[in-house]
Chain A
């Protein structure tokens, strides 16, 4: 095939032109949150202690770099036609799962989990679990496209459930209950968008409610043990219901988080002035990712905290709007799946700092420190933008 410069040039220009058609509000929200995130991370790692300070000093810059890489991914996926992705969904998922398994087999535990895979040649580590989330969405879409005629049937749900169970358990082995459990709401919302029967979707929800009730009555009230839950996971459940059980240890984090947020008041203590954070009451290793919201609430107060919540919500509503305007089945499903993923991260992350949900280690989209996740989210937003841009290309199917 001869390389036709003109055709290539036209093709590239055409693709670049898509940038102009993107959903500007979504882009604004993404950038707003990301940049704010950098500042918050900078404040979160600031510490009165030199040793801590040294260790975490470069965090903000690192995050900025990841944003840069993320933006590359964002624009890339924006420029391509999103319909390619479901075609490669399952293979992508397979690769991601293999990476996860590889990580677990070869890496040693960091902070109690084998979740990081160093890329040889660079000093960078990757989190395969985050890649699983993205590739799972694509794979799920692929499967749902296949199952579309039978979407209303219970069997669809079961097949999807089985399919999702595999990455779920694989990630769970890390152990990373948080990331694994993100897959569940993602799946549910994808099914919702795909048109599965409501009553069938209620089953897993009821199941979750039952688990919650079980946790409450059996574990919290009666104090019995479950054989398959690890102690610390069980403790997490107990501590959720009553952080005072172990104020000094496991309950420490949530107690501190509440104190941090509560003492922030209406306007907060000011940027870089959150004394709970500075003095290390909120452990540094979580202050800049999982509990970044505590720092935000402490320093920027109710005003700042609400703004962040509202911004994330607006971002999600943008994605839903895009789903509204999607022109085909896969567009809707992909968009809904991303809503599911982001909403879960958002709600659980903020909620756990407020004792609304138990503590799970999942990051706040675009704000928490974490390179792989940032790139994954950016990529996701790029895909969603692609859906938006395509909306006028084809008639409604």
Chain B
């Protein structure tokens, strides 16, 4: 105001101005602080992403070896043609004066999003190249756009596995389109094709997960050892860090980390024996075979037919082929060696062992105990037939086993009691997964536990049925009234008798039977089967730079604590019986000239539905060991739809034994065993017979019964096992009431 001293006012104003200046400076310093100190990390990180680009170097997958170091699953170099988007787009931009074609894309949230039309760009730049190399693009436009959107820094594979000719043309006439380059990648290769395919499994691309943007391996195991040991097999990707400037040009390499190969897996499998077994099984339509070392439970060979070629899955299985494999009724992807089946007569040694071990029997059952075995026997209010209508007469255990006499075992089973038999079966591992190391790791997905038929099990089943019914009843009482409550089966003598001949609810896997045979062969110790010897890692010696194998983990041999025989005499009785099977009994066709083979045949009744028709589909078995005096090998063979154990599986076992001994001879003489690429075996429904009585038409050729009736045929028709439930089975026949009545 006019009265105020202007000088004072100026002073005041200037002071304010000074404060303003200080305030401005403070504001700037504070902002600087915020950017440099507080958020500095964020910006420094931005630099990294601007100036460096890292390229992942895929690691080679670990090799799977057999016990002798033969590679069963390895890697070979695949030369692919990749496109690096940034370079390609930069090139396109430069030659098209900055504009990039855009396209509207429907995203997963039903929004339309504008994205760079990589497909068009690629088409324009590379269609000539493709034409020149005579290649067809195998990817879809969707895949291309999606890959560019999600992982633009990861190269997209245009063509995989260029053959030599195409590669030469590319090298010679390379039009040098920036961004299109050849890359060498390791791909999975199975040098012997279908050899051990069910064990090895197969590989493929991982499931699509669009939200993850971390490193996802290109190939993961999908089945078998490839899957269960996928973490070990994967290895560590390497990385190449390149420095670039703001134009995107690569200035140089900043860092390089070599990829680390995956761990190696050593299986107990002997590739030569596996090869022998698979060759022998080639004539079988559906079946499995196992060769085991009785000293320690190592699985030397395990095969299942029909099978597949895992090479067809690399890098991606043709969708048509996949559909074929999956819808094939003979189920080639299915590993029969670890699936449960009705054992039939090969279960009898367990009965014998149980009886011999059972101290509660009075008088004790011994090798010399004689039973009278007619053609049929009346027990549990009905007639139980032997396969031989004339019976065997009065025979000891040895002959009972040798002739696989049902009536002998009905009596023996009734005598011993189900508890004793169930205990013996439990010692062998029936009813549990034997490759699953007590929850440590599931070695083969899909291994089945089988069924340990005993009163407790039956009670469990009954309870489950009631529980399930109760649930349904609670939800809808009108549809499921009380009168629909299922009957609970009680264990009866009839169940025991069925179990005595390996029918009824009993279900075992070929692996269980091999374990049993091994235990009998080695003097009574039950070993858990071992499929994986261990894993090892390649390490570089820091001093010498040499590559060495470092053993990481080993899987030990595990012997079960309970033996199957407490004294050598009891075991000897069973062994003698099994020798007699081959020398004079039902297993004559399993004999090998010059070698003493012991074993047991089995033929289990089963029915399958094929194209709506119920057909008889016998499960035929042979399991044995050789040489008798110093057992080296246990061979177990299963054939679905065979004629009889002795007739179908015996000769197969004989062939396997002979070939193994021959191979060992060659080894002694220093001769290598020749192995070739195995092509997959196609399955067929051979050996099935139309099941009488059915209506008229027979769609399948009925095979005439074999002339050699040295196999056994059970006469008791049975209730189908719950364990074999994967196949189409007929609906459960009328529940087995506690009703005295005819059962036929």
Q: Which residues of A come within 8 Å of B, CB atoms?
A: 48, 189, 192-193, 195, 258-266, 275-276, 279-281, 297, 301-302, 305-306, 309-310, 312-313, 316-317, 320, 323-324, 332, 336, 339, 343, 346-347, 350-351, 354, 356, 396
Q: Quick check: A339 and B17 within 8 Å, CB to CB? A: yes
Q: From B30-38, B138-146, B382-390, B529-537, give the one contacting chain A.
A: B30-38
Q: Quick check: B39 and A324 within 8 Å, CB to CB? A: no
Q: Provided the pairs A261-B35, A265-B44, A396-B7 are in contact, do residues A356 and B51 lie with their beta carbons within 8 angstroms?
A: no
A sample of 29 cross-chain residue pairs with beta-carbon separation below 8 angstroms, ordered by A number, consists of: A48-B245, A195-B6, A195-B10, A195-B13, A259-B47, A259-B50, A261-B43, A262-B35, A262-B40, A263-B43, A265-B36, A279-B51, A280-B247, A281-B51, A297-B35, A301-B36, A302-B32, A306-B29, A309-B28, A310-B25, A310-B29, A313-B22, A316-B21, A317-B21, A320-B21, A323-B14, A351-B28, A354-B28, A356-B28
Whole-angstrom CA separation of A312 from B26 in the bound complex: 12
Q: Does B42 contact A (CB under 8 A)?
A: yes
CB-CB under 8 A from B44, the residues of chain A are 262-263, 265
Distance between B43 CB and nearest chain A CB, rounded to angstroms = 3
CB-CB under 8 A from A264, the residues of chain B are 36, 40
Choose among B22, B35, B246, B251 the residue with the greatest number of A CB atoms under 10 Å from its CB: B35
Q: Which residues of B come within 8 Å of A, CB atoms?
A: 6-7, 9-11, 13-14, 17-18, 20-22, 24-25, 27-29, 31-33, 35-37, 39-40, 42-44, 46-47, 50-51, 245-247, 251
Choose from B9, B11, B17, B42 the contact partner of A262 (Cβ within 8 Å): B42
Whole-angstrom CA separation of A76 from B484 in the bound complex: 116
Distance between B223 CB and nearest chain A CB, rounded to angstroms = 46
Q: Quick check: B24 and A313 within 8 Å, CB to CB? A: yes
Q: Quick check: B246 and A280 within 8 Å, CB to CB? A: yes
CB-CB under 8 A from A48, the residues of chain B are 245
Q: Quick check: A347 and B24 within 8 Å, CB to CB? A: yes
Choose from A262, A266, A316 the contact partner of B39 (Cβ within 8 Å): A262
CB-CB under 8 A from B36, the residues of chain A are 261-262, 264-266, 297, 301-302, 305
Q: Supply 14 further A-B pairs (C-beta < 8 A) apart from A189-B17, A316-B21.
A: A258-B43, A259-B43, A262-B35, A262-B36, A276-B47, A280-B245, A280-B247, A281-B51, A302-B33, A313-B21, A313-B24, A317-B21, A320-B17, A354-B28
Q: Quick check: A356 and B17 within 8 Å, CB to CB? A: no
Q: Quick check: A350 and B40 within 8 Å, CB to CB? A: no
Whole-angstrom CA separation of A345 from B20 in the bound complex: 15
CB-CB under 8 A from B33, the residues of chain A are 302
CB-CB under 8 A from A263, the residues of chain B are 40, 43-44, 46-47
How would you classify the secondary structure of chain B's contact residues: helix, strand, loop or mixed?
Answer: helix
Distance between A128 CB and nearest chain B CB, rounded to angstroms = 28
Choose from B10, B22, B27 the contact partner of A332 (Cβ within 8 Å): B10
Closest 3 interchain pairs by CB?
A262-B43, A313-B25, A263-B44
Distance between A358 CB and nearest chain B CB, rounded to angstroms = 15
Whole-angstrom CA separation of A193 from B14 in the bound complex: 7
CB-CB under 8 A from B25, the residues of chain A are 309-310, 312-313
Whole-angstrom CA separation of A280 from B35 in the bound complex: 21
CB-CB under 8 A from B28, the residues of chain A are 309, 347, 350-351, 354, 356
Whole-angstrom CA separation of A320 from B33 in the bound complex: 27
Distance between B52 CB and nearest chain A CB, rounded to angstroms = 11
Whole-angstrom CA separation of A48 from B244 in the bound complex: 12
Whole-angstrom CA separation of A334 from B10 in the bound complex: 13
Distance between B85 CB and nearest chain A CB, rounded to angstroms = 15
Distance between A156 CB and nearest chain B CB, rounded to angstroms = 15
Distance between A297 CB and nearest chain B CB, rounded to angstroms = 7
Whole-angstrom CA separation of A37 from B39 in the bound complex: 27
Whole-angstrom CA separation of A301 from B40 in the bound complex: 10
Whole-angstrom CA separation of A301 from B29 in the bound complex: 12
Q: Quick check: A193 and B50 within 8 Å, CB to CB? A: no
Whole-angstrom CA separation of A72 from B32 in the bound complex: 35
CB-CB under 8 A from B7, the residues of chain A are 396
Closest B residue to A396 using CB positions: B7
Q: Quick check: A261 and B10 within 8 Å, CB to CB? A: no
CB-CB under 8 A from A265, the residues of chain B are 36-37, 40, 44
Choose among B7, B24, B28, B31 the residue with the greatest number of A CB atoms under 10 Å from its CB: B28
Choose among A48, A339, A354 the residue with the greatest number of B CB atoms under 10 Å from its CB: A354
CB-CB under 8 A from A336, the residues of chain B are 14, 17
Distance between B46 CB and nearest chain A CB, rounded to angstroms = 5
Whole-angstrom CA separation of A281 from B22 in the bound complex: 32
Q: Quick check: A317 and B18 within 8 Å, CB to CB? A: yes
CB-CB under 8 A from B20, the residues of chain A are 343
Whole-angstrom CA separation of A396 from B11 in the bound complex: 13
Whole-angstrom CA separation of A73 from B260 in the bound complex: 69
Whole-angstrom CA separation of A139 from B687 in the bound complex: 115
CB-CB under 8 A from B13, the residues of chain A are 192-193, 195
Whole-angstrom CA separation of A346 from B24 in the bound complex: 9
Closest A residue to B2 using CB positions: A152
Whole-angstrom CA separation of A261 from B35 in the bound complex: 7
CB-CB under 8 A from A316, the residues of chain B are 21
Whole-angstrom CA separation of A281 from B43 in the bound complex: 13
Distance between B12 CB and nearest chain A CB, rounded to angstroms = 11
CB-CB under 8 A from B6, the residues of chain A are 195
Whole-angstrom CA separation of A324 from B21 in the bound complex: 15
Q: Quick check: A354 and B14 within 8 Å, CB to CB? A: no
Distance between B539 CB and nearest chain A CB, rounded to angstroms = 37
Q: Provided the pairs A262-B42, A312-B25, A313-B24 are in contact, do residues A305 and B17 lie with their beta carbons within 8 angstroms?
A: no
Closest A residue to B46 using CB positions: A259
CB-CB under 8 A from A193, the residues of chain B are 10, 13-14, 17
CB-CB under 8 A from A280, the residues of chain B are 245-247
CB-CB under 8 A from A346, the residues of chain B are 24
Q: Quick check: A320 and B51 within 8 Å, CB to CB? A: no
Whole-angstrom CA separation of A120 from B262 in the bound complex: 74
CB-CB under 8 A from B9, the residues of chain A are 195
Choose from A266, A275, A276, A309 the contact partner of B29 (Cβ within 8 Å): A309
Q: Quick check: A192 and B17 within 8 Å, CB to CB? A: yes
Q: Quick check: A343 and B21 within 8 Å, CB to CB? A: yes
Whole-angstrom CA separation of A347 from B29 in the bound complex: 11
Whole-angstrom CA separation of A163 from B156 in the bound complex: 65
Q: Quick check: B35 and A281 within 8 Å, CB to CB? A: no
Q: Quick check: A356 and B31 within 8 Å, CB to CB? A: yes
Q: Quick check: B32 and A317 within 8 Å, CB to CB? A: no
Closest B residue to A314 using CB positions: B25
CB-CB under 8 A from B42, the residues of chain A are 262
Distance between B502 CB and nearest chain A CB, rounded to angstroms = 74
Distance between A141 CB and nearest chain B CB, rounded to angstroms = 15
CB-CB under 8 A from B35, the residues of chain A are 258, 261-262, 297, 354
Choose from A261, A275, A356 the contact partner of B27 (Cβ within 8 Å): A356
Choose among B17, B31, B50 the residue with the greatest number of A CB atoms under 10 Å from its CB: B17
Q: Quick check: B43 and A305 within 8 Å, CB to CB? A: no
Closest A residue to B247 using CB positions: A280
Whole-angstrom CA separation of A261 from B43 in the bound complex: 8
Choose from B37, B43, B46, B51 the contact partner of A275 (Cβ within 8 Å): B51
Q: Provided the pairs A193-B10, A258-B43, A263-B44 are in contact, do residues A305 and B21 lie with their beta carbons within 8 angstroms?
A: no
Q: Provided the pairs A309-B32, A324-B14 are in contact, do residues A343 and B43 lie with their beta carbons within 8 angstroms?
A: no
CB-CB under 8 A from A260, the residues of chain B are 43
Whole-angstrom CA separation of A316 from B20 in the bound complex: 11
CB-CB under 8 A from A309, the residues of chain B are 25, 28-29, 32
Distance between A114 CB and nearest chain B CB, rounded to angstroms = 26
Q: Quick check: B31 and A354 within 8 Å, CB to CB? A: yes
Whole-angstrom CA separation of A306 from B25 in the bound complex: 9
Q: Quick check: A302 and B51 within 8 Å, CB to CB? A: no
CB-CB under 8 A from A192, the residues of chain B are 13, 17
Choose among B14, B27, B44 the residue with the greatest number of A CB atoms under 10 Å from its CB: B14
Closest B residue to A279 using CB positions: B245
Q: Quick check: A305 and B37 within 8 Å, CB to CB? A: no
Distance between A387 CB and nearest chain B CB, rounded to angstroms = 13
Whole-angstrom CA separation of A320 from B21 in the bound complex: 9
Whole-angstrom CA separation of A306 from B9 in the bound complex: 32
CB-CB under 8 A from B31, the residues of chain A are 351, 354, 356
